[in-house]
Amino acid sequence: MKFKTLFAASVAFAVAGTSLAHAEPQAEVLHWWTSGGEARSVAVLQKEFASRGGKWTDMPVAGGGGDAAMTALRARVLAGNAPTAVQLKGPAIQEWYEEGVLANISSVAKAQGWADVLPASIAGHMKCEGKWCAAPVNVHRIDWIWANAAVLAKNGISMPTSWDEFNAAAAKLQAAGITPLAHGGQAWQDATVFEAVALGIGGPKFFQKAFVELDQATLKSNTMVKVFDQMRIMRGFVDNNFSGRDWNLATAMVMNGEAAFQIMGDWAKGEFLAAGKRPGIDFLCASTPGDGFLYNVDSFAMFAVDGSDKTDGQLLLAELIVGKNFQKVFNMNKGSIPARVDVALDDFDPCAHTSAQDMATSNAGGSLLPSYAHGMALRGAQAGAITDVVTAHFNSDMSSADAVEMLATAVTNSM
Ligand code: BGC
């Protein structure tokens, strides 16, 4: 098998690399961390890599959610020139493994005892047929609502704890001339809001059936109709210029008080922090109404490449990524929490503490769920089919009944 040959080659290089004099470790790193908070975070890894003698070649591909980065990756792999390390996550890791193009990083994983410091659910995503093929960076939570503290206080509004409360607050803000919901009309952002609404309205079991198991009855259910009804209401709470707006510009609208709320993963917090805003004072965080926790684990997969400088670079990167210091400093900047369970959170902000506590509670209660919108729950074709319908509905006057029919059909056709 092609993968086995490549695996054998990378092990041979790794072994050779320990005994022979060789060139400095190299890594060409493809990622989509280009916003203020994201760039500040990835710089932590670049610095650590350089301090260990590594030469980093940056390949940033702008575009939140990573769709553009994934298109760039496919082009590079098809051209036979894969980058050495790629920001990749969830089932996409397995999809690339099946193409026979991933390297094996088990030597680092074993040396560092990853199995002992990563939760089993996260480790599962990082393994390909029992071998470690990716290194996890963090746990981002998706179902968050962010708010401008002063705007809420001025309008006598507290963080909503139900969707009815959200709708009432939004209507009040709109009447006061404030955009209730900062949103960027890009398919992945529509999907991000949609999955938070679906979890809130349907609950964790509904979410699992719909977006993990792709159960037809659930996709067509009355509950799903209600989810689309709420999406229609939310469409009325965004400003006129929402189309195509980048997520960080939507976050900026909340920061400067032009808008009150944003529903977005906690990389939005990284943006607030990078701008010097303080949680609980300048901005507020709360989980979106309802139970459960939608997780999104960023990770790096190493692609099979030739040359001991590159394979050394891959092993060094993997070692740093799961290293305790990186997991702490990176995640304090990025807005996420560490993937490792043994990193103390004392220096993290209150939103990160909420995230960690809710993750533990959800894990114990069976409501810790993978984000479909951020590529953790489904393969690309199925996730894409759902998102196409969500976006088509959000950007038209399609009825909720038509949307659920279209959703069920699109999912069937994508299988
Ligand atoms: C990634 C985050 C990133 C966000 C916006 C998500 O899919 O997991 O790391 O900050 O997209 O680009």
Task: Read off the pLDDT band of 74 (50, 70, 90).
Answer: very high
Q: Which atom of ligand 1 is nearest to the CA of 35?
A: 12
Q: Tokens representing 251?
A: 């976050």
Ligand 1 pocket, residues with Cβ under 6 angstroms: 32, 38, 64-66, 140, 267, 296, 298, 374
Residue 387 identity (one-letter amino acid): T
Which residue's alpha carbon is nearest to atom 6 within ligand 1? 65
Task: Read off the pLDDT band of 333 (50, 70, 90).
Answer: very high
Residue 342 CA to ligand 1 centre (angstroms): 24
Residue 9 CA to ligand 1 centre (angstroms): 32
The residue-averaged pLDDT of 185-191 equals 98
CA–CA distance from 228 to each of 157, 219, 386 (Å)? 25, 11, 12
Residue 23's pLDDT is what?
86
Handedness of CA 106, 108, 111, 113 (dihedral sign): negative
Q: Are strands 337-338 and 138-141 parallel, antiparallel or unpaired?
A: antiparallel
Residue range 158-173, pLDDT digits in tens: 999 999 999 999 999 9
- In this predicted structure, the answer to whether residue 132 has a pLDDT above a threshold of 90 is yes
Residue 232 CA to ligand 1 centre (angstroms): 25
Task: Read off the pLDDT band of 13 (50, 70, 90).
Answer: very low
Q: Which atom of ligand 1 is nearest to the CA of 37?
A: 10
Residue 21's pLDDT is what?
54
Residue 155 CA to ligand 1 centre (angstroms): 31
Are 232 and 407 in contact by the 8 Å Cβ rule? The answer is no
Residue range 347-390, pLDDT digits in tens: 999 999 999 999 999 999 999 999 999 999 999 999 999 999 99
Q: In this structure, what are the phi and psi dihedrals at residue 408, rounded to the nearest 5 degrees?
A: -60, -40
Which residue's alpha carbon is nearest to atom 10 within ligand 1? 267
Q: Which atom of ligand 1 is nearest to the CA of 89?
A: 8
Residue 199 identity (one-letter amino acid): L
Which residue's alpha carbon is nearest to atom 9 within ligand 1? 298
Q: 87-125 burial, b if ≥16 CB within 10 A, otherwise e?
A: bbbbbbbbebbeeebbbbbbbbbeebebeebbbeebbeb
Architecture (CATH level 2) of domain 141-295+365-414: 3-Layer(aba) Sandwich (3.40)
The residue ranges of every structural domain in the chain are 23-140+297-351, 141-295+365-414
Q: Tokens representing 329?
A: 């400093």
Highest CATH level, class, for 23-140+297-351: alpha beta
The reported pTM is 0.93
Task: Read off the pLDDT band of 156 (50, 70, 90).
Answer: very high
Hey, how many other C-beta atoms are within 10 angstroms of the C-beta on 5? 11
CA–CA distance from 93 to each of 393, 405, 411 (Å)? 30, 31, 21
The residue-averaged pLDDT of 128-137 equals 97
Q: Do domains 23-140+297-351 and 141-295+365-414 have the same CATH topology?
A: yes
Are 374 and 192 in contact by the 8 Å Cβ rule? The answer is yes
Task: Read off the pLDDT band of 110 (50, 70, 90).
Answer: very high
Q: Which atom of ligand 1 is nearest to the CA of 38?
A: 10
Task: Read off the pLDDT band of 9 (50, 70, 90).
Answer: very low
Residue range 207-263, pLDDT digits in tens: 999 999 999 999 999 999 999 999 999 999 999 999 999 999 999 999 999 999 999
| Residues in Cβ contact with 303 at an 8 Å cutoff, skipping those fewer than 6 apart | 77, 82, 83, 84, 85, 86, 96, 101, 102, 103
Residue range 254-295, pLDDT digits in tens: 999 999 999 999 999 999 999 999 999 999 999 999 999 999
The residue-averaged pLDDT of 297-315 equals 96
Which residue's alpha carbon is nearest to atom 5 within ligand 1? 64
What is the separation of C-alpha 104 from the centre of its chain, rounded to a whole number of angstroms? 23
Q: How far apart are the first and last CA of the chain?
A: 26
Residue 12's pLDDT is what?
41
